[in-house]
C-alpha cells in the first residue's frame, strides 16, 4: 500500500518504555524512592499525545486529494498491496463499518492510543483515525456535562463556531489540548518530611525520624469515579491497590486484599501486608473550571472494626455515627513537555458530621509543597482492558 508507513522502531521503542515502567513498578529489589523516580522518568520519556500543527491539517488534505485523484483507489480509502490475492481484502469493507470497528477498538474505556497506531499504518487509516465524528464523541466522553449542555444550546450546525469560541479548530485538537484527567494510569506523589520523637530513658537527645509515604490517585471513565490510596509502602503496592479499587465500592480493605492470580504468593502477601496499613478513599469528581476539578471522597469503615455477623444479626444494621467527607480541588497542569500529567493541590477541606450529637465541623488544611507535592502521572498498561463491553 503506497503510503508513508511508520517503521517498527517506533513501536519497539514504545514497547520498551512500557516494559521498563512495568518492571520499575514491580521490581522489589529497589528502594521505594528509586522506584518512584524511575516510574516518573520513564513515563515522561515518550509523550503519548501528538501535538497538532498546521502541517498535519495540510497532510489530511493532501491524503484526501491523493485518494480522490488516484484511479487505483476507486473512491475507497484503502487498496490491496497485491492485486492477485484470492482472499477478501479489508478495502471492500464500507467506510461506515470501518469507523464502527475503530469505535469498538477505542471502547468505552477510551483507548485513544489505538488512533495513533492506526494513523501510522497508511493514508487510508490516517484519515479514518482523524475522522471528525470519532473525536467529537471522545470529547463528549471526556467532558459530558459541559459539552451536552452547550451542544443543546448552540445546535449541531454551529459546532464550528463553538470550537472557535473555545480557541480550537477541530474536535481532535480539543480532545488533545484541553485540560483533562488521564485514565490509562495513575497520579503518584512522594511525601517526605522529618519529625522529632520523644527522648528515650537515660538519653537527653530527641530522636529524629524521616517519614516517607506515597499517595496514588486514579480516575475512572465510568461515572466519574476517583480512588485515592495513601500508604507508607512502595509504589508497586499503591498501583496494585488502585488496580483493584474500581471493582467494589463497599469496602476499602476488601479491595486491597484481593490477590492477583498471575503473581506468585510472595508478591500477593507483600501487597496484602502493605495495603492494610494504608487508607483508601473513594468518591466522585466533577469539573469546576476549565482546568480544575473538585473531588468528593469518603472513607469506608475498616473490616476489622466491624462487629461480627452474629452481633449484626442481633443488633440489626449498624449505622456509622461519624461521617467524614473529604473535598479536594485539583488543578491540571503540564510538566516537561507532557500534557495533563500533573495534579496540583488547590484546596483541601475535611467535613465531619457526628450523628449522635448532631454536631459538624469543617477543617481547612494548609497546603504546603512538603506535605502536598504535585502528583505526576505514570502510565499503567493493565489499567486499560483488552476487551471492552461497549463501543465509543
CATH of the domain at 92: 1.20.1280
Give burial (CB, 10 Å; 0-12/13-18/19+) of 325: middle
Using an 8 Å Cβ cutoff, are 185 and 378 in contact?
yes
Count of domains forming the chain: 2
Is pLDDT of 31 > 60?
no
Nearest partner of 160 among 174, 149, 178, judged by Cα: 174
**Overall residue count recorded for the chain in this entry:** 392
Cα–Cα distance between 52 and 170 in angstroms, integer?
Answer: 10
Ranking 140-144, 188-192, 244-248, 279-283 by mean pLDDT, the lowest is: 244-248
Q: Is the pLDDT of residue 14 over 80?
A: no
327 in the same domain as 196: yes
Check residue 322 and give its pLDDT: 81
Residue from 276, 271, 293 nearest 219 by CA: 293
Comparing 199 with 138, the larger pLDDT belongs to 138
- Flag the least confident range among 80-94, 230-244, 341-355: 80-94
Residue 36 has pLDDT above 90, yes or no: no
Does 208 reside within a domain? yes
Whether 200 is covered by a domain: the verdict is: yes
Let me know if 191 is exposed, middle or buried by CB neighbors in 10 A (0-12, 13-18, 19+): middle
Instruction: Tell me the C-alpha distance between 335 and 341, whole Å.
Output: 6
Whether residues 191 and 281 share a domain: the answer is yes
Q: Are residues 214 and 102 in the same domain?
A: no
Please indicate, yes or no, if residue 388 is contained in any of the structural domains: no
Select from 141, 176, 209 the last residue of a domain. Answer: 141
Q: How confident is the model at residue 55 (pLDDT cuts 50, 70, 90)?
A: low
* pLDDT for residue 40 is more than 60: no
**Burial status of residue 323 (CB atoms within 10 A of its CB: 0-12, 13-18, 19 or more):** middle
Q: How confident is the model at residue 50 (pLDDT cuts 50, 70, 90)?
A: very low
CA end-to-end span of the chain:
28
**Least confident segment among 14-23, 163-172, 304-313, 326-335:** 14-23
- Residues 256, 342, single domain; the answer is yes
Task: Give 376's pLDDT tier (boundaries 50, 70, 90).
Answer: very high
Q: Compute the average pLDDT of residues 359-363.
A: 89
**238 & 292 share domain:** yes
Give the lowest-confidence range in 28-32, 251-255, 283-287, 315-319.
251-255
For helices 95-106 and 132-142, what crossing angle results, to 10°? 30
Half-sphere exposure of 317 (CA within 13 A, CB side): 2
Query: How confident is residue 84, by pLDDT bands cut at 50, 70 and 90?
Result: low
Same domain, 253 and 114: no
Q: Is residue 151 part of a domain?
A: no
What pLDDT score does 264 carry?
Answer: 43
d(CA 65, CA 76): 12
Which pLDDT does position 295 carry in this prediction?
Answer: 95
Extract long-range pairs of 347-353: CB within 8 Å, 24+ residues apart.
348/372, 350/324, 350/325, 350/326, 351/324, 351/325, 351/326, 351/327, 352/322, 352/323, 352/324, 352/325, 353/322, 353/323, 353/324, 353/325
Distances (CA, A) of 243 to 21, 220, 272: 15, 11, 14
Same domain, 65 and 200: no
Residue 91 belongs to domain spanning: 48-141
Task: Inform me whether the pLDDT recorded for 189 exceeds 90.
Answer: yes
Check whether residue 115 and residue 206 sit in a common domain.
Answer: no
CA angle 126, 128, 133 (to 5 degrees): 130
In a domain, 17, yes or no: no
Comparing C-alpha atoms, which of 289, 284, 291, 255 is closest to residue 271?
255
Q: β-pairing, 185-196 with 279-287?
A: unpaired
Please state the three-class secondary structure of 168-198 as a single string: CCCHHHHHHHCCCCCCCEEEEEEEEEEEECC
Give the whole-angstrom CA distance, residue 229 versus residue 242: 7
Nearest Cα residue to 39 out of 389, 388, 392, 375: 375
301 lies in the same domain as 226: yes
pLDDT at 49: 42
117: pLDDT strictly greater than 80: yes
In a domain, 30, yes or no: no
Cα 283 from Cα 220, distance rounded (Å): 11
Helical spans, DSSP H, in the chain: 8-25, 32-43, 54-69, 95-106, 113-118, 123-129, 132-142, 144-154, 159-165, 171-177, 235-244, 252-256, 265-276, 309-315
Say whether both 259 and 356 belong to one domain.
yes
Q: Answer whether residue 269 shows pLDDT above 80.
A: no
Per-residue confidence band for 252, with pLDDT thresholds at 50, 70 and 90: very low
> Could you tell me if residue 4 is inside a domain?
no
Interatomic CA distance for residues 388 and 107, integer angstroms: 5
Mean pLDDT for the chain overall: 74
Axis crossing angle, helix 8-25 with helix 32-43, rounded to the nearest 10: 160
C-alpha distances out from residue 351 to 217, 305, 363, Å: 20, 22, 6
Query: Of 160-169, 278-287, 360-369, where does mean pLDDT reach its minimum?
Result: 160-169
The answer to whether 339 and 49 have CB atoms below 8 angstroms apart is yes
Question: Could you tell me the pLDDT band of residue 4, with boundaries at 50, 70 and 90?
Answer: very low
Q: State whether 196 and 94 are in the same domain.
A: no
pLDDT at 245 over 90: no
Backbone angles phi, psi at 391, to 5 degrees: -80, 180
- State the average pLDDT over residues 207-223: 88
Domain co-membership, 223 together with 367: yes
In a domain, 31, yes or no: no
Amino acid at each position: 500500500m503506497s503510503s508513508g508507513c511508520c517503521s517498527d522502531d517506533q513501536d519497539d521503542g514504545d514497547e520498551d518504555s512500557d516494559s521498563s515502567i512495568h518492571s520499575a513498578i514491580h521490581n522489589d529489589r529497589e528502594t521505594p524512592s528509586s522506584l518512584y523516580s524511575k516510574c516518573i522518568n520513564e513515563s515522561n520519556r515518550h509523550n503519548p499525545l501528538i501535538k497538532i500543527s498546521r502541517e498535519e491539517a495540510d497532510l489530511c488534505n493532501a491524503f484526501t486529494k491523493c485518494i480522490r485523484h488516484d484511479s487505483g483507489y476507486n473512491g475507497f480509502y484503502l487498496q490491496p498491496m497485491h492485486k492477485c490475492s484470492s482472499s477478501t481484502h479489508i478495502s471492500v469493507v464500507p467506510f461506515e463499518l470501518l469507523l464502527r470497528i475503530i469505535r469498538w477498538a477505542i471502547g468505552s474505556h477510551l483507548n485513544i492510543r489505538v488512533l495513533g497506531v492506526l494513523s501510522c499504518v497508511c493514508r487510508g487509516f490516517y484519515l479514518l483515525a482523524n475522522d471528525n465524528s470519532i473525536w467529537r464523541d471522545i470529547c463528549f466522553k471526556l467532558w459530558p456535562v459541559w459539552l451536552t449542555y452547550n451542544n443543546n444550546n448552540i445546535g449541531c450546525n454551529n459546532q464550528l463556531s463553538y470550537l472557535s469560541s473555545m480557541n480550537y479548530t477541530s474536535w481532535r485538537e480539543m480532545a488533545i489540548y484541553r485540560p483533562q484527567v488521564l485514565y490509562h494510569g495513575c497520579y503518584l506523589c512522594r511525601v517526605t518530611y522529618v519529625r522529632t520523637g520523644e527522648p528515650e530513658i537515660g538519653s537527653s537527645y530527641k530522636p529524629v525520624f524521616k517519614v516517607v509515604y506515597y499517595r496514588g490517585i486514579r480516575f475512572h471513565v465510568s461515572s466519574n469515579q476517583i480512588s485515592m490510596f495513601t500508604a507508607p509502602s512502595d509504589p508497586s503496592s499503591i498501583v496494585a491497590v488502585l488496580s483493584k479499587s474500581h471493582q467494589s465500592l463497599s469496602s476499602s480493605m476488601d479491595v486491597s486484599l484481593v490477590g492477583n492470580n498471575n503473581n506468585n504468593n510472595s508478591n500477593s502477601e507483600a501487597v496484602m501486608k502493605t495495603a492494610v496499613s494504608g487508607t483508601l478513599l473513594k468518591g466522585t469528581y466533577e469539573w469546576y473550571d476549565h482546568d480544575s476539578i473538585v473531588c468528593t471522597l469518603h472513607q469506608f469503615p475498616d473490616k476489622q472494626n466491624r462487629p461480627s455477623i452474629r452481633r449484626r444479626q442481633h443488633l440489626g444494621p449498624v449505622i456509622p455515627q461519624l461521617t467524614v467527607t473529604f473535598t479536594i480541588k485539583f488543578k491540571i497542569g503540564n510538566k516537561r513537555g507532557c500534557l495533563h500529567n500533573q495534579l496540583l493541590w488547590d484546596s483541601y477541606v475535611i467535613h465531619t458530621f457526628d450523628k449522635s450529637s448532631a454536631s459538624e465541623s469543617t477543617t481547612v488544611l494548609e497546603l504546603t509543597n512538603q506535605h502536598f507535592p504535585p502528583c505526576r502521572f505514570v502510565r499503567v498498561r493493565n489499567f486499560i482492558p483488552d476487551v471492552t463491553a461497549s463501543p465509543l
